[in-house]
Copies of this chain bind each other. A is one copy, B any other.
């Protein structure tokens, strides 16, 4: 089909080796020869074949990206794709290709992610949406394949983890409420299984404990779904001793909570202040617009690639990187009366 270096070689009466060297700008080819060869390549419409190149260099120049489905979140609300933007851009910058895998419960769990990687000969892998109970987690940790894990806990010789600085973010959320004068501050927790959830709770607990204001009674269970946010509010409304401000460990729960509060005639933020975490799209248009902690998804994606490439190049940098969050102030929090 396409024109190869052989064709160029024949046309110019030289050998393929010479063409290869000239096109790769090796020092051992004369300047005039290079010019001639380049011109011929363009004229003939030569397009290098990366497959042949990869065969001989034994490098694929490709990174595998896995988007794993989570139970709790429907794809519609799946945060996963947001990281993709940063991942692609950063990979592009370093001339790496992205091979995309998507694993859903039904389709997959047949083949280890690592097998897929080995088969495709990718040089490294990025995992999004990995859970601590994933059957192949051990596989990833043990494998010699360089990996970056986004937004989950995975510690191993060849894996880096990248996530938001969830502790600092949670602390910033509480600090904002604290600054507004609130002292009775509650939390709707995420599911114990999720790394982000544990970290956010820890940030929350630590901040208030240091100020002698942590109150176990104001800790409400949740699992990152709207429903659990709604359920938490039902609990709150039943009790006599209510917090004056509430931190939901993610926006989805905050939205679930908001709906119930409004349904019961509670005004936000006059009657209770509410702050979320994630800054998902929905948090912008609800009424009142939700004050929340924004994640920098693109930056997380980029950092995942940076750490991965460092590993691939054997220049081991850090094992983990936590990306700054940002307080997004909207209308769901008010000073304590």
User: Which of A75, A107, A280 has the largest count of B CB atoms less than 10 A from its CB?
Assistant: A75
Q: Are A1 and B58 in contact (CB under 8 A)?
A: yes
Nearest chain B residue, comparing its CB with the CB of A108: B92
A12 CB-CB contact with B under 8 Å: no
State whether A284 and B287 are in contact (beta carbons under 8 Å apart), knowing that A1-B58, A50-B119, A107-B92 are contacts in the complex.
Answer: no
**Interface residue range, chain A:** 35 or more
Q: Are A99 and B102 in contact (CB under 8 A)?
A: no
Selecting from A27-35, A81-89, A199-207, the interface stretch reads: A81-89
- CB contacts (< 8 Å) of A262 on chain B: these are 287
Q: Are B89 and A102 in contact (CB under 8 A)?
A: yes
CA distance A303 to B156 in the complex (A): 40
Nearest chain B residue, comparing its CB with the CB of A116: B97
Q: Are B102 and A92 in contact (CB under 8 A)?
A: yes
A59-81 CB mask vs B (1 if < 8 Å, else 0) is: 01000010100000001110001
- CB contacts (< 8 Å) of A285 on chain B: these are 255, 282-283, 285-286
State whether A120 and B50 are in contact (beta carbons under 8 Å apart), knowing that A281-B281, A287-B287 are contacts in the complex.
Answer: yes
Q: Are A51 and B54 in contact (CB under 8 A)?
A: yes
- CB contacts (< 8 Å) of A44 on chain B: these are none
CA distance A255 to B67 in the complex (A): 30
A118 CB-CB contact with B under 8 Å: yes
State whether A97 and B76 are in contact (beta carbons under 8 Å apart), knowing that A280-B281, A284-B282 are contacts in the complex.
Answer: no
State whether A281 and B100 are in contact (beta carbons under 8 Å apart), knowing that A52-B55, A115-B47, A119-B48 are contacts in the complex.
Answer: no
A109 CB-CB contact with B under 8 Å: no
A132 CB-CB contact with B under 8 Å: no
- CB contacts (< 8 Å) of A76 on chain B: these are 82, 281
A104 CB-CB contact with B under 8 Å: yes
- Nearest chain B CB to A233 CB, angstrom units: 15
A121 CB-CB contact with B under 8 Å: yes
- Nearest chain B CB to A93 CB, angstrom units: 8
CA distance A50 to B121 in the complex (A): 8
Q: Are B281 and A118 in contact (CB under 8 A)?
A: no
User: Which of A89, A107, A115, A287 has the largest count of B CB atoms less than 10 A from its CB?
Assistant: A287
- CB contacts (< 8 Å) of A15 on chain B: these are none
- CB contacts (< 8 Å) of A121 on chain B: these are 49-51
CA distance A279 to B213 in the complex (A): 42
A9 CB-CB contact with B under 8 Å: no
A145 CB-CB contact with B under 8 Å: no
Q: Find residues 272-290 in chain A having any chain B CB closer than 8 Å to their own CB.
A: 280-287
- CB contacts (< 8 Å) of A287 on chain B: these are 262, 286-287
A13-54 CB mask vs B (1 if < 8 Å, else 0) is: 000000000000000000000000000000000011111101
The 8 closest A-B pairs by CB, nearest first: A81-B81, A287-B287, A88-B102, A285-B286, A98-B100, A282-B285, A51-B54, A281-B281
A-B contact list, 11 entries, CB within 8 Å? A47-B118, A51-B51, A51-B54, A67-B88, A75-B82, A75-B298, A81-B81, A84-B102, A281-B281, A282-B282, A285-B286
Further pairs besides A88-B100, A98-B101: 13, Cβ < 8 Å: A50-B120, A51-B54, A51-B60, A55-B55, A75-B85, A84-B102, A89-B102, A92-B102, A100-B100, A281-B282, A282-B284, A283-B285, A285-B285
